[in-house]
Amino acid sequence: MGIAFKNRVTAPQLPSRPAYGDNQIGTNLPPRAGSLNGVIVPEQPGKSAIEVRGVRKVFGTGENQVAALDTVSVSIRENEFFTLLGPSGCGKTTLLRLIAGFDFPSAGEILLHGQDIAPLPPFKRPVNTVFQSYALFPHMTVAQNIGFGLEMLGTPKAEIEARVAQMLKLVKMEALKARRTSQISGGQQQRVALARALAPQPKVLLLDEPLSALDYKLRKEMQIELKRLQHETGITFIFVTHDQEEALTMSDRIAVMSAGKILQVGSPRDIYDRPAERFVADFIGETNFLAGTVVSKKSGVATVKFASDATIGAGYPEGFDPTGEVTLVVRPEHADLVPDPAKGTITGTLSNIVYFGTDTHYHVKLDGGGENFIVRHQNTRSSPVTYETGAKVGIQFEEDAARVLKD
């Protein structure tokens, strides 16, 4: 039942099962990972779909050389929604283009299910891309666009038609299949681009900031839609974005990139709660940085002393040995204000109160100096204490609120 991939590097090894459309649409069965491929891929948490090993990409020659990717290694698991997150120019799109085959690495290898695909041209890689600009073929209809990949693979006509119909249903575009791509809206073009890339059942789907051209409401809708598609198809998604909120809400794991390097890889929770470096902490969400000195450490927790002599226990990244002067990171919602300065771990003066509706931000000028410390309070119907600007306050930390940063 599964459609053979002529160009697949490795043929699917597992016995075929009925394809998604045959046995699950209209039933209450939970969607199964990999079921759209006609193959049930068992849970293999350690198995990697894409493995990037020591990849460098240098543009230009001689003195004008710029390393867009500086020896990057990362392993992306099967059936994972993996996000490359970073500001523009960090190398995330370069990495995506190397995986797609539009560029070739200057050094290193890219493994797809254990086989090096770095030297293969794009049309020999079982990897499909959703482009930022969608890149739909303007001289073809919606259905012709979606069927293009299968046609190029030499799939029989009847099978192409069946698959195109299935894809149109998957992205809810059946009604517009005969339209030219110039006659449909941006959101609809986005869906067609997705269907076109999914139709040949790639092993990995690459998405290059596909939502950036959509307005806010549509973007929110498509985030949920993408998550659903990934879940239903069981295909590994590699998603590139500079939008931290998008990354946090959609990803299974995130790689934060900056200046051609991957700084940290982890689940959204890991990245948000336990950032390893200052850049990661700063790029994602709002953050407070505090200076302190390590006085002792035991089983992954360092005791850090502030200028005020107060101490706090703080975790630190694995494989890192914090000593001396360090920087701590505390999320604004992981700290709490107390009216009595004597009860706070650190103390300061309220300099500003900003009301946001769902919550309130308190800006505290710390007694030891430095940047303002921000505390975020969720607003409830009856807030127990009201604060006035200029009041002396203490700040308490929740357990595990503080983390030692690598730099």
What is the signed CA dihedral for 5, 14, 97, 248, rounded to 10 degrees? 140
Q: Which stretch binds other proteins (CB under 8 A): 68-76, 82-90, 195-203, 320-328?
A: 195-203
Please report, for residues 46, 65, 244, 323, the alpha-carbon distance to residue 212 in angstroms, rounded to integers and kept in the order given: 32, 30, 13, 42
Q: Which one of residues 98, 110, 118, 127 is an interface residue with other proteins (CB under 8 A)?
A: 127
Between the alpha carbon of residue 176 and those of residues 62, 135, 169, 217, the distances in Å are 52, 18, 11, 22
Among 21, 105, 108, 149, binds other proteins (CB under 8 A): 149
- Given a contact cutoff of 8 angstroms between Cβ atoms, the answer to whether 404 and 328 are in contact is yes
- H helix intervals, 208-273: 216-233, 244-250, 268-273
Task: Kindly state the smallest distance separating residue 122's Cβ from other proteins, in Å.
Answer: 4
- Phi-psi label, residue 259: left if phi above 0, alpha if psi -120 to 50, beta otherwise: left
Q: Edge to edge, what strands does the sheet with 392-397 contain?
A: 335-338, 392-397, 346-355, 359-366, 373-378
Examine residue 138 and tell whether it contacts other proteins (CB under 8 A). Answer: yes
Q: Which two tokens stand for residue 193?
A: 């681009």
- Determine, following the binding rule CB under 8 A, whether residue 182 of this chain makes contact with other proteins: yes
Alpha helix (H) ranges present in 24-91? Answer: none
In whole angstroms, the minimum distance from the beta carbon of 144 to other proteins comes to 10
Out of 37, 48, 129, 345, the only residue in the binding site for other proteins (CB under 8 A) is 129
User: Binding of other proteins at residue 192 (CB under 8 A)?
Assistant: no
CB-nearer residue toward other proteins: 212 or 308: 212
61 binds other proteins (CB under 8 A): no
Strand partners, 58: 67
To other proteins, the closest distance from the beta carbon of 120 in angstroms equals 11
Round to whole Å and give the CA distance between 108 and 233.
30
- Compute the least distance from the CB of residue 337 to other proteins, in Å: 48
Shortest gap between Cβ of 127 and other proteins (angstroms)?
A: 8
List the one residue from 59, 104, 137, 356 that touches other proteins (CB under 8 A).
137
Rounded CA separation 327/138 (Å): 53
Kindly identify the residues of this chain, within the stretch 78-117, that bind other proteins according to CB under 8 A. Answer: 100-102
CB of 24 to other proteins, least distance (A): 26
Nearer to other proteins, 118 or 136 (CB): 136
Q: How far is the CB of 141 from other proteins (least distance, A)?
A: 13
Please tell me the total number of residues recorded for the chain in this structure.
Answer: 407
In the shown chain, the binding pattern of residues 281 to 320 toward other proteins, with x for contact by CB under 8 A and - for none, equals ----------------------------------------
For residue 200, state whether it binds other proteins (rule: CB under 8 A): yes
Paired tokens of 178:
């005969």
Q: Which is nearer to other proteins, 148 or 272 (CB)?
A: 148
Burial profile 81-114: b = 16 or more Cβ within 10 angstroms, e = fewer: bbbbbbeeebbbbbbbbbbbbebebeebebbbbe
Residue 152 engages other proteins in binding (rule: CB under 8 A): yes
15 versus 138: smaller Cβ distance to other proteins: 138
The whole-angstrom separation of Cα 195 and Cα 147 is 9
| 122, 187, 341, 370: which one binds other proteins (CB under 8 A) | 122
Considering only 30, 46, 62, 139, the residue that binds other proteins (CB under 8 A) is 139
Rg (CA), the chain: 25
- Distance between CA 75 and CA 77 in Å, rounded? 6
In angstroms, give the least distance from the CB of 135 to other proteins.
4
Per rule CB under 8 A, count of chain residues that contact other proteins: 28
User: What's the N-to-C CA distance of the chain in angstroms?
Assistant: 53
Pick from 148, 237, 279, 306: which binds other proteins (CB under 8 A)? 148
Our CA angle for 192, 194, 197, nearest 5°, is: 110
Which residue, 61 or 378, is less far from other proteins as judged by CB?
61
Which one of residues 58, 67, 111, 135 is an interface residue with other proteins (CB under 8 A)? 135
Q: Which residues bind other proteins (CB under 8 A)?
A: 6-7, 100-102, 121-124, 127-129, 131, 133, 135-139, 148-149, 152-153, 180, 182, 196-197, 200
